[in-house]
């Protein structure tokens, strides 16, 4: 494959519908979804994807029934514990984006533990978007910049694209090259608004718990055939 995305982001959607389709409780859809995460992380590593960012829990997901939210948090802690060794063995660096302050302590502690233990790993950067909202991320960045302007740390004329990027949760991430959303929904749902400015979008009807490495390969192949012009003409790309 000649064109490989450096940064792949995934909106892992459809766990609930998968459960419904199989006459199971929503939670079992999430459980199966967590297993798929394992497989896709492994496959992304094999494909030498440098950055993989997964939407695990949005700021709007707090509006779900309390039981579902609690179970999702428990599942997350369990997955971090179970996958720790594999993450280390695969030289993966775990990062997170989103507001960690309002996450349950158990989740925060486990997450920070793995982030700390893997911070010098040089393999794939796996970023979990947790309690993440794209609009909130930009608003928070603007607040920090405004404060710096007010305190004369930055002058207003110097505020540019890079100033904003430096104040985002996702400041260490490159732009998204390929954004995948499963389940047939064709929307962004407030994910990575800034970093998807020129992302190639790939929507599949496959529900996340059914998504497998072949589906990832298919998305990567589809990406490799796209022509990214970034505002230029096709002729300019040939030069």
Applying CB under 5 A, the residues found at the interface with Mg ion are 13
* Part in contact with ligand IPE (CB under 6 A); list of ranges 120-128, 139-147, 163-171, 179-187: 179-187
Distance of closest approach, residue 17 Cβ to Mg ion, in angstroms: 8
56 binds ligand IPE (CB under 6 A): yes
Please give the order of strands across the beta sheet that includes 93-97.
93-97, 125-132, 51-58, 7-11, 178-181, 200-203
**Structure token pair of residue 38:** 């394992």
Question: Nearer Cβ to ligand IPE, position 20 or 47?
Answer: 20
72 binds ligand IPE (CB under 6 A): yes
Burial of 153: CB neighbours in 10 Å, binned 0-12, 13-18, 19+: exposed
Question: Nearer Cβ to Mg ion, position 13 or 215?
Answer: 13
CB neighbours (10 Å) of residue 158? 10
Among 8, 9, 11, 103, interactor with ligand IPE by CB under 6 A: 11
Alpha-carbon gap, residue 41 to 49, rounded angstroms? 10
Q: Is 134 in contact with 193 (CB distance < 8 Å)?
A: yes
Catalytic residues: 13, 61
- Footprint of ligand IPE on this chain (CB under 6 A)? 11-17, 55-58, 61, 72, 183, 185, 187, 189
């Amino acid at each position: 494959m000649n064109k490989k995305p450096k940064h792949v982001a995934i909106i892992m959607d459809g766990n609930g519908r998968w459960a419904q389709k199989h006459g199971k409780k929503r939670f079992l859809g999430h459980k199966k979804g967590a297993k798929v995460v394992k497989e896709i992380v492994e496959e992304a590593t094999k494909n030498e994807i440098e950055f993989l960012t997964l939407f695990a829990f949005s700021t709007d997901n707090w509006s779900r029934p309390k039981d579902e939210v609690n179970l999702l948090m428990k599942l997350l802690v369990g997955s971090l514990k179970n996958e720790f060794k594999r993450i280390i063995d695969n030289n993966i660096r775990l990062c997170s984006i989103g507001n960690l302050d309002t996450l349950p302590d158990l989740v925060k502690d486990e997450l920070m533990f793995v982030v700390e233990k893997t911070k010098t790993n040089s393999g794939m950067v796996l970023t979990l978007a947790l309690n993440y909202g794209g609009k909130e991320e930009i608003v928070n960045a603007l607040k920090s910049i405004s404060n710096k302007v007010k305190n004369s740390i930055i002058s207003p004329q110097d505020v540019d694209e890079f100033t904003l990027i430096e104040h985002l949760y996702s400041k260490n991430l490159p732009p998204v090259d390929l954004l995948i959303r499963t389940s047939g929904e064709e929307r962004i749902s407030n994910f990575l608004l800034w970093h998807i400015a020129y992302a190639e979008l790939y929507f599949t009807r496959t529900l996340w718990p059914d998504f497998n490495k072949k589906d990832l390969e298919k998305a990567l192949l589809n990406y490799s055939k796209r022509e990214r012009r970034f505002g230029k003409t096709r002729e300019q790309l040939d030069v």
